[in-house]
Amino acid sequence: MFIFISIYTFTIGQKINYEFSNNHVRGNFYNIIIQGFPIAILLTLFGTLKRKNFKIKNFTIIISTLLIAILTFFAILNNIFLIGFGAWTTEKIVYRNKINQLEIKEQIFDNGAFGYGNKRIVKTKPFLKYWIYPTEIDTTKINKNEWIFVNEEGDIKFP
């Protein structure tokens, strides 16, 4: 199951529009995936080798596992720079919906050591506590009667 979640995270998970609602949870998740994936592959190798198998079958399992491990190592190296150095970070929460849990946030793209990049304003809809579904929005076109202006500090803390 861990290998399936890891592969999904590195492939399809990068293309879907859902994002982590908290940068701390996001960092922990990716650290566990990146560090645990090679361990899961090795545990799979040791779990599939058996004395009762023919030597050819065990040899094939070893070679295929090593090839998969090498391919995933390079995929992880490629994704470390894409995942580890880029995420949308909430600069401030501008509006909160009066009726439900929707928020309108100003976000900035955090490039890690490379500084900040693009800015966007999004309406975020919570999804299963740890994720949000962001959609870009124009704040001049919203119905001000449905929203409360809060202007709260986001993930970037100012002294």
The residue among 91, 81, 102 whose CA lies nearest residue 34 is: 81
Q: 15-45, pLDDT tens digit by residue?
A: 788 888 887 888 888 888 878 887 887 787 7
User: Which residue has better confidence, 60 or 111?
Assistant: 60
Give the CA distances from residue 126 to residues 39, 47, 64, in Å, rounded to whole numbers and listed in that order. Answer: 32, 39, 41
What pLDDT score was predicted for residue 85? 57
Most confident of 4-13, 65-74, 98-107: 98-107
How crowded is residue 132: how many other Cβ atoms within 10 Å of its Cβ? 24
What pLDDT score was predicted for residue 81? 65
**Percent of the chain's residues with pLDDT above 90:** 18
Strand partners, 124: 103, 134
* Rounded mean pLDDT, 107-126: 84
What pLDDT score was predicted for residue 153? 87
Q: Distance between CA 80 and CA 94 in Å, rounded?
A: 31
The pair phi, psi for residue 18, each rounded to 5°, is -75, 140
How crowded is residue 7: how many other Cβ atoms within 10 Å of its Cβ? 15
What DSSP string describes 69-106?
A: HHHHHHHHHHHHHHHHT-EEEEEEEEEEESSSS-EEEE
**Percent of the chain's residues with pLDDT above 70:** 93
What pLDDT score was predicted for residue 63? 85
Most confident of 7-11, 48-52, 142-146: 142-146
Q: Distance between CA 76 and CA 83 in Å, rounded?
A: 10
